[in-house]
């Protein structure tokens, strides 16, 4: 219990998002600052770790977008939250098969954790990529932002509505140093913002990604200025239903939310209806949110698997299709993960 104290810093209580920000991203003790969480030795598997074909499909989508945008000579690609760098590594390998495109594209990585930046540098060795903290550095050409499991890793705020009053959930340590939930009146500014979203109108329990929208706000500004798009792939839902979606995973198993703080991953599900409303409010066009399964199939993942399998032995083929099933099946990630595309560009052809 003593270890929980350090995430409160000097505060007696903290709103849910600020507390979990410390748990996940504190420079000294935060989950993403002290360990490599990815892969079988870590706590969870993301799609790039399940199959390289996932990353190849993102590469194909980026090249398709470049073509739709008229094959510009300046083309900026920014990955949001690149994890251990595995996804972009495969993407760069695909790009090398398209020499002209490869010569005009620029790659930027947007990463909060210094620990993961080091890991990304190790994975990417001599690849030509640039880490970026401020998108103002990008001056020319359309911008393509993409992020896999970026938003679900950004702490959310939680509120309850009672008799038209909005209360925010805070976390507090009781006398026995156990974490307890308490509610305080929401701030006037949060109340104003939350009331402005139709998607949240009739809910009694509200999750609001203030930190996520702050980050996306910077992204939206850049897209509005230079033209471009934002592809978000994440675990999430289409209709909010008063759910508390905060969840924790430790060594590939469900973990109680307040256990193993700083050693376990904590995420929430993305509200894709709210995300869509956020983009629309910011004058971006938004495509219909689709499932990961549908997106990957549209990009040609099955055809690609058929090509790859030709050189494989039986057990390798079995493994390939087992992994593909995990990515595509409606019972697995195929439906649970959704893909959202927002953009600013004049084209009737653009789709996902
Ligand atoms: C769940 S991981 C996903 C990693 C990777 N995209 C993948 O699919 O394997 C979330 C990533 O987002 C990063 N991240 C979280 N908040 C961030 C922020 N505010 N700015 C930049 N990166 C952030 C994390 O450090 C981590 O790299």
pTM for the full predicted model = 0.96
- Pocket perturbation via mutation, ligand 1, pick of 82, 150, 213, 231 by most ligand atoms within 8 A of CB: 150
- Pocket perturbation via mutation, ligand 1, pick of 25, 83, 88 by most ligand atoms within 8 A of CB: 83
Q: What is the pLDDT of residue 196?
A: 97
Give yes or no for residue 32 CB within 6 A of ligand 1: yes
CA atoms within 13 A on the CB side of 40: 1
Please give the distance of CA 309 from its chain centroid, rounded to a whole number.
Answer: 30
**Where does residue 100 rank: exposed (0-12), middle (13-18), buried (19+ CB within 10 A)?**
exposed
Q: What is the pLDDT of residue 148?
A: 98
Q: Which residues contact 221 (CB under 8 A, 6 or more apart)?
A: 135
Ligand 1: centre distance to CA 235 (Å): 14
Give yes or no for residue 112 CB within 6 A of ligand 1: yes
Domains and CATH numbers, the chain: 30-155+210-253+264-344 (3.40.50.12710)
Rounded Cα distance, 92 and 124, in Å:
9
Contact 112, 32 (CB under 8 A): yes
Q: What is the pLDDT of residue 3?
A: 63
Q: Which residues contact 343 (CB under 8 A, 6 or more apart)?
A: 223, 228, 229, 230, 284, 285, 286, 287, 350
Contact 267, 235 (CB under 8 A): yes
Ligand 1: centre distance to CA 116 (Å): 9
The residue whose CA has the least distance to atom 5 of ligand 1 is 83
The residue whose CA has the least distance to atom 19 of ligand 1 is 112
Give yes or no for residue 110 CB within 6 A of ligand 1: yes
Ligand 1: centre distance to CA 148 (Å): 8
For 220-282, give the DSSP string.
HHHHHHH-EEEEEEEEEESS--S----EEEETTEEE-TTSSTTTSEEE--EEHHHHHHHHHHT
Give yes or no for residue 142 CB within 6 A of ligand 1: no
Closest Cα to residue 209, out of 340, 46, 326, 116?
Answer: 340
CA distances from 328 to 113, 144, 298, 332, 336 (A): 30, 24, 12, 7, 10
Ligand 1: centre distance to CA 313 (Å): 35
**Mean pLDDT, the chain cut into blocks of 10 residues (352 residues total):** 76 95 95 91 93 98 96 97 97 97 98 96 95 97 98 98 96 90 98 97 97 98 97 96 96 95 96 98 96 98 97 96 97 96 85 76
- Pocket perturbation via mutation, ligand 1, pick of 17, 81, 249 by most ligand atoms within 8 A of CB: 81
């Amino acid at each position: 219990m003593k270890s929980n104290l350090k995430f409160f810093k000097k505060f007696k209580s903290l709103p849910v998002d600020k507390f979990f920000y410390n748990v996940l991203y504190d420079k000294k003790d935060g989950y993403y600052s002290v360990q490599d969480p990815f892969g079988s030795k870590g706590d969870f598997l993301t799609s790039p770790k399940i199959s390289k074909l996932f990353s190849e499909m993102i590469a194909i989508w980026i090249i398709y977008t470049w073509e739709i945008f008229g094959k510009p000579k300046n083309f900026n690609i920014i990955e949001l939250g690149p994890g251990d760098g595995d996804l972009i590594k495969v993407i760069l390998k695909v790009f090398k098969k398209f020499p002209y495109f490869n010569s005009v594209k620029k790659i930027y990585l947007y990463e909060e954790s210094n620990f993961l930046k080091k890991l990304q540098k190790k994975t990417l060795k001599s690849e030509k990529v640039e880490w970026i903290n401020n998108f103002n550095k990008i001056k020319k050409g359309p911008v393509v932002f993409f992020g896999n499991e970026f938003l679900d890793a950004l702490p959310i705020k939680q509120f309850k509505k009672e008799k038209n009053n909005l209360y925010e959930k805070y976390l507090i340590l009781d006398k026995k140093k156990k974490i307890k939930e308490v509610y305080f009146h929401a701030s006037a500014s949060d109340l104003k913002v939350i009331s402005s979203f139709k998607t949240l109108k009739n809910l009694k329990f509200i999750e609001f990604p203030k930190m996520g929208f702050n980050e996306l706000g910077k992204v939206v500004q850049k897209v509005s200025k230079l033209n471009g798009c934002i592809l978000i792939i994440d675990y999430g839902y289409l209709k909010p239903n008063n759910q508390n979606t905060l969840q924790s995973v430790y060594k590939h198993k469900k973990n109680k939310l307040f256990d193993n703080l700083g050693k376990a991953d904590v995420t929430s599900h993305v509200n894709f209806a709210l995300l869509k409303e956020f983009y629309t409010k910011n004058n971006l066009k938004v495509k219909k949110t689709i499932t990961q399964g549908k997106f990957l199939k549209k990009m040609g993942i099955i055809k690609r698997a058929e090509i790859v399998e030709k050189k494989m032995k039986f057990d390798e083929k079995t493994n390939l299709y087992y992994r593909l099933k995990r990515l595509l099946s409606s019972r697995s990630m195929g439906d649970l993960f959704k893909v959202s595309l927002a953009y600013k560009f004049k084209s009737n052809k653009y789709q996902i």
